[in-house]
Amino acid sequence: MSVQRRLLIVMALSVGTLASAASLRAEDGLALDGLVTSQAEGPMEGVLVSAKKRDSTITITVVTDRNGRFTFSANKLTPGHYVLAIRAVGYDLAEPVETDVVPTRPATIDLTLRPTEDLAAQLTNAEWLANFPGTDEQKRSLLECMSCHTLERIARSTHVANEWVSVLERMAGYTNNTTPDRPQRRAVERSLAPERARKTAEYLARINLSAGPWTYPLKTHPRPSGRATRVVITEYALPRPSIAPHDVRVDRDGVWYSDFDEQFLGRLDPATGRVTEYPIPELKPGFPTGALDMEIDQAGNFWLAMMFQSGLAEFDRQQQTFRMFPIPPELNSGTMQQSMVMPGHSDVDGKVWTNDVNRHAILRFDLSSGHFDVIDPFKNVASEHVHAPYGMMSDAENNLYFLDFGDQNIGRVDAKTLRVTLYPTPTTYSRPRRGMLDAAGELWFAEFAANQIGMFETNAERFHEWPLPTAWTAPYDVAADDHGDVWAGSMASDRVIRFDRLSGAMTEYLLPQQTNIRRVFVDNSIMPVTVWIGNNHHASILKLEPLD
Amino acid sequence: MLNAIPTRKSRAKATFFIATIVTVTFGMAQPVWSGGMPDEEADQQMPSKAIVGFVKDPDGNIVGDAKVVVSFKSGSTELITRSDPTGHFRIPGFSKDADASSVEVSCSKGGYRQTATLKRRSVASSSSTPIEVDCVLSPE
């Protein structure tokens, strides 16, 4: 073959490639693309690139592919002026980047990253936990700190052990629905046993800056790669920083969320980002506010567990009004707390399940009489650890399944006899937190302390457990979709985990900012499914759309 | 063991405020500031006894993947687990007051029927010595 002929072929191929690329761009409705590079790595895979339109509350994020390229489609970025941001641990944008998106032709903008000057500010809680020296038991004592704030806060502090004791005393007085932005004091204060406080204080003084710079290297987790880069994430900022979305649920009317801190039920319109808030009447004026669990009954009405307000709220979807069900005085106290509610099959027998966190008991509310049954599922069952009924599910007969978050049991309460059966998970002290029971009787749940996804076959009474790929993921919730994938949300790693049941593969989708994930909601109405979560500490709701 | 003593705070003046001074006990691995955990734990941090044993056939061969049900003579709670591939089972936590005589163990598996349970009486029975019960399955 002659040189000229070879050249001709190469040129023809090039033209062909260019032509097909151009037509692809047109067909796909491309709005913006570009290449992300750094001096150290060249083109970079797994960099999250976020675009936020000026004056909008909605941020769209995509991830660079193995060639370092990112692409925003036009149905995600409508014309306007956008500010770009990135997330790639160890790096910052070399300079601020803004760009216009116009309807006529796609914009291209290449991004250059430089090494960050403040790596500690970019670490996830999971990275901090992996980096801290100490035993697993010592590190586990920090898991609960993440309910309210990041571990960076601890690492950057300069308290010596003595000071830590008083800090811990103060922390013990805050409710679990507290953030640094809006701390809530408990009505009944708690104080720590000196021995325990001293032990923890000494550990915290070992890992912070009290004795000089950190003695441990700041290692980071790998950036997303492969399948984890094929995703679009939409983040909707809520109108006030003090809103703490906990549970989310999507239906024809929008994205509903419970607010862990303030006394509202919220609804987001995902098309516009507009938020409507429905104020929930207070049951205990002066007590900490906010709701945790939000569930739906067969009539389509929402039920909320009212935490320290002590009781349940039912939201009538037609009337848009609340019916409040306080805990009766003979059961109530200053420490009364309802974190969970399960009205899913209340149509069967007129009963709604909830919990009494303080007594580590189950309550069952009779809708017609207003009576609460108290069920102590651990009557004869002591433990090295404190039991705590948490996540709740009901089956078609309104039998209750609950997760013993304090220890390692899945419990079942028979609706007719109130007999309790406990199934210990194979892994010791797994702390099952929340999950769901599907129509086939498979109960999927997060093993918060064991860093695993769990599944309990309720019919065969068998457990299955799958370790998560990243240590200290601390999964809060697990939801199975209708197509064989299972989704878990982390309170620590800013990642949503996708578990392919058939292949056993796990994909970890990184989110664009620090995200304290609680409930994981899967919208099965579209394929591929979309996953919705609340960012409990940063007043936003996120939608994760996998592209495959 | 961790004892925490709540103090009253005047902020809560509601009439249904009935909490009084309560001794609070928290688990070793769960700090008192634990989110979603009980505020007050009365009499919880007691030492507990595990219940352990093997599922075997009459010849002493182990039987894996058998269902094991443990219950109390008093009380209605049942604990259910399965024997592992070595025939062993372990239920982690029971009341410190439980002993072998107050515990019922049954086991089952397709193709077998239960023919005996063998309780071992521990000589030096401390509050944390596990209760040992073996369960015997005979082929049908």
Nearest C-alpha neighbor of A453 from the set A492, A423, A498: A498
| Interval B62-69 mean pLDDT | 96
List, in order of start, the domains of chain B with CATH numbers.
1-45 (no CATH), 49-139 (2.60.40.1120)
CB contact under 8 A, B4 and A192: yes
**pLDDT band, residue B120 (cuts 50/70/90):** confident
For residue A171 the two structure tokens come to 């922390």
The three-state secondary structure class of A71 is: strand
Would you state the pLDDT for residue A148? 95
Residue closest to A33 by CA, chosen among A112, A122, A101: A101
Report d(CA A111, CA A84) in Å as an integer: 9
Amino acid at A469: P
Six-digit token string for A447:
């093993």
Q: Do B77 and A380 touch (CB under 8 A)?
A: yes
Segment A65-102, tens digit of pLDDT: 999 999 999 999 999 999 999 999 999 999 999 999 99
Report the alpha-carbon distance of residue A395 to residue A400 in Å, rounded. Answer: 7
pLDDT at B26: 32
Q: Which of B12, B40, B74 sits opposite A187 (nearest CB)?
A: B12
* 0.90 exceeded by pTM: no
Reported ipTM: 0.79
Q: What pLDDT score was predicted for residue B121?
A: 67
- Report how far Cα A463 is from the mean position of its chain's Cα atoms: 24
Percent of chain A scoring above 70 in pLDDT:
95
Give the model confidence (pLDDT) of A197-255 as tens digits: 999 999 999 999 999 999 999 999 999 999 999 999 999 999 999 999 999 999 999 99
The pLDDT assigned to B44 comes to 39
- Identify whether the C-beta of residue A121 lies closer than 8 Å to the C-beta of residue A156: no
**Per-residue H/E/C for B74-104:** CCCCEEEEECCCCCEEEEEEECCCCCHHHEE
Alpha-carbon span A327 to A312, nearest angstrom: 8
* B16 has pLDDT over 80: no
Q: From the CA of B58, how many Å to the nearest CA of chain A?
A: 25
- Cα separation, B88 vs B122, in Å, equals 18
Phi, psi of A140 (to 5 degrees): -60, -30
Residue A401 and residue A454 in contact, taking contact as beta carbons nearer than 8 Å: no
- Cβ distance A144 to B2 less than 8 Å, yes or no, reads no
Write down the mean pLDDT value for chain A.
93
Would you say residue A19 has pLDDT above 50? no
Kindly report, residue by residue over A337-395, the tens digit of the pLDDT: 999 999 999 999 999 999 999 999 999 999 999 999 999 998 877 777 889 999 999 99
**Chain A: closest CA distance from residue B124 (Å):** 21
Distance, in Å, from the CA atom of A532 to the CA atom of A527, rounded to the nearest integer, reads 14
pLDDT score recorded for residue A52: 98
Chain A residue with Cα closest to B35: A176
Mutate to test the interface with B, among A125, A137, A151, A188 (most CBs of B within 10 A): A188
Phi, psi of A257 (to 5 degrees): -145, 150
Burial class (CB within 10 angstroms; exposed 0-12, middle 13-18, buried 19+) of A335? buried
Amino acid at A319: Q
Are A286 and B13 contacting, i.e. CB atoms less than 8 angstroms apart? yes
Q: Which tens digits make up the pLDDT trace of A101-144?
A: 998 899 999 999 999 999 999 999 999 999 999 999 999 989 99
Checking phi first, is residue B77 left (phi over 0); if not, alpha (psi -120 to 50) or beta? beta
Q: Do A385 and B29 touch (CB under 8 A)?
A: yes
- CB count within 10 Å of CB A355 equals 28
Residues 6+ apart with CB under 8 A from A207: A132, A133, A134, A154, A155, A214, A216
User: Which carries the bigger pLDDT value, residue B118 or residue A224?
Assistant: A224
A176-183: average pLDDT: 89
* Three-state DSSP class for residue A346: helix
Residue A15, Cα to own-chain centre: how many angstroms? 47
Q: Return the DSSP state at A27.
A: H
Residue B37: list chain A partners with CB under 8 A.
Answer: 144, 176, 357, 386, 388, 405-406
Whole-number pLDDT of residue B49: 79
Poorest-confidence range of A368-382, A424-438, A532-546?
A368-382
CB pairs under 8 A between A and B: 205
Give the right CATH number for A226-546 from 3.30.420.10, 2.60.120.260, 2.130.10.10, 3.30.565.10: 2.130.10.10
Return the CATH number of the domain spanning residue range A3-117. Answer: 2.60.40.1120
Q: Which of B10, B13, B18, B39 to mutate to test the interface with A (most CBs of A within 10 A)?
A: B39
Q: Please tell me the distance from the alpha carbon of residue A175 to that of residue A516, in angstroms, as a whole number.
A: 17
Task: Supply the pLDDT for residue B123.
Answer: 56
pLDDT at B102: 81
Cβ contacts of A461 on chain B, cutoff 8 Å: 67, 80, 82
Per-residue pLDDT of A472-481, as tens digits, reads 999 999 999 9
Residues A26-61 pLDDT 10s: 456 899 999 999 999 999 999 999 999 999 999 999
Q: Residue A503: which residues within 8 A CB-CB, separation 6 or more?
A: none
d(CA A497, CA A478) in angstroms, rounded, equals 9
d(CA A72, CA A32): 5
The confidence score (pLDDT) of residue A183 equals 92
Among the residues of A346-478, which ranges form H helices? 346-349
How many angstroms away from the CA of B61 is the closest CA of chain A?
23
Token pair 């980096």 in the structure block, residue:
A131
Do B12 and A287 lie within an 8 Å CB cutoff? Answer: yes
B2·A192 Cβ contact <8 A: yes
Query: For the ranges A21-25, A151-155, B4-8, which has the lowest average pLDDT?
Result: B4-8
CB proximity list for B138: less than 8 A, separation 6 or greater: B57, B58, B112, B113, B114, B115
What whole-number distance in Å separates Cα of residue A144 and Cα of residue A288?
19
Which residue, among B26, B12, B132, has the nearest Cα to A196 in the 3D structure? Answer: B26
A189: nearest CB among B6, B45, B96: B6
Alpha-carbon separation of residue A514 from A63, A297, A423, B52 (angstroms): 16, 32, 35, 44
Q: For the CA atoms of chain A, what is the radius of gyration?
A: 25
Angle between helices A194-207 and A161-172 (to 10 degrees): 120
CA angle A322, A328, A334 (to 5 degrees): 100
Residue A473 is which amino acid? Answer: T
Interface of B with A in 46-105 (CB under 8 A): 46-49, 67, 72, 74-82, 91-96, 98
Task: Say what the pLDDT of residue B19 is.
Answer: 31
Residues of chain A with CATH 2.130.10.10: 226-546
Cβ neighbors of A487 (< 8 A, separation 6 or more) are A478, A479, A480, A481, A496, A497, A498, A499, A520, A522, A531
On the question of pLDDT at A164 being above 70, the answer is yes
Q: At A464, is the pLDDT very low, low, confident or very high (cuts 50, 70, 90)?
A: very high
Q: What is the CA radius of gyration of chain B?
A: 21
Q: Can you give the pLDDT at residue B130? A: 84
- Give span(s): CATH 2.60.40.1120, chain A: 3-117
Band of residue B125 on the pLDDT scale cut at 50, 70, 90:
low
